[in-house]
Each structure stands twice: as C-alpha cells, then as structure tokens.
C-alpha cells in the first residue's frame, strides 16, 4: 500500500452541490436559502443568542457565583485505579505521573470504589475510612495527610 493508491471507502465521499446553477439541479434559483429575508442575504445572519431584538435569555438572568482562584484542587482517586500503578509506595507525585491526578492538584483523596488486591503504602494522601480498611486488609499501610490550612482571603 502506498499513499498514492489509497482510496476512500465506497459511499464515504459524496459529490459537492454546485448551487445556483439552474432549476434542473434541484439547487438552482434560491440555492437552498429559501425566499428573501435576512438568512437569504449574503453575510446575513445574527450572533448566537440573538432573539430578534428581545432581551436575550443570557442577559435576563442574573449572574451567579465565580470560580475561586485560591481554592485548593483536590483530586479524587479510586481504589481500583491504584491497582494499575506499579509502584508500591504511592504519593501525590506518583499519582500525577500515572495521570490519575491533575498536574495542578495540591492534594488527593483516595475513595473506596473497586478493590485492591496487593499491598501498597499510601503516603501523604487523604484516605476515606472504607478505603483505609480495604488497603490494610490487603496488607498495605496508610500514612495520613494532615488537613491543609484554609486558603487566605
């Protein structure tokens, strides 16, 4: 197989419509735009959310809330996801390397969803009571993370 011999699958490509080229084509005269009006004109359309001059919905409703820039991002990690990590000792850096916690996460919390079948050592992470019991039942250990201080401001 070479690049110059590759062909599209049958039916994958359809011929383009040449509009405005006579009524016999089925796309002549109005060229699929209907009769008159703003939408039939060249360049004639409206912006998203425009409701014909009526006050649009996004302006009628009040603003609500904001996203705090100082809020600590805490990643939630399932117990079944830890099963896939090769390392025996698991901390925040290991979770970030494995793609289980976002790069911007300041801490992580392990919850009991799924099960773990091997011994792991969890260090410096928050762990739910059920997840802690499951980890210790599998022969692992947990070093609890101290609760982070609330953000200033």
Q: Tens of pLDDT along 66-110? A: 988 888 889 999 999 988 888 889 999 999 999 999 998 999 999
Neighbours of 37 (CB within 10 A): 9
Model-level pTM? 0.54
Q: Exposed/middle/buried for 126, CB within 10 Å: 0-12, 13-18, 19+?
A: buried
Q: Give the Cα separation of 124 and 5 in Å (integer).
A: 57
Domain ranges of the chain: 74-144
For residues 140 and 108, is the Cβ–Cβ distance under 8 A?
A: no
The CATH number given to 74-144 is 3.100.10.10
Tokens, residue 127: 């762990």
**Which residues of the chain are under the pLDDT cut of 50?**
none
């Amino acid at each position: 197989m070479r690049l110059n011999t590759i062909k599209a699958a049958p039916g994958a490509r359809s011929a383009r419509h040449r509009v405005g080229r006579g009524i016999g084509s089925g796309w002549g005269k109005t060229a699929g735009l209907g009769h008159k009006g703003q939408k039939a004109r060249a360049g004639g359309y409206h912006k998203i959310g425009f409701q014909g001059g009526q006050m649009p919905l996004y302006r009628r409703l009040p603003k609500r809330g904001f996203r705090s820039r100082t809020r600590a991002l805490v990643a939630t990690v399932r117990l079944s996801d830890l099963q896939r990590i090769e390392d025996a000792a698991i901390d925040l850096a290991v979770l970030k390397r494995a793609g289980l916690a976002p790069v911007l996460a300041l801490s992580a919390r392990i919850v009991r969803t799924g099960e773990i079948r091997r011994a792991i050592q969890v260090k410096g992470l928050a762990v739910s009571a059920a997840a802690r019991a499951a980890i210790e039942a599998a022969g692992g250990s947990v070093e609890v993370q101290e609760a982070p201080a609330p953000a200033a401001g």
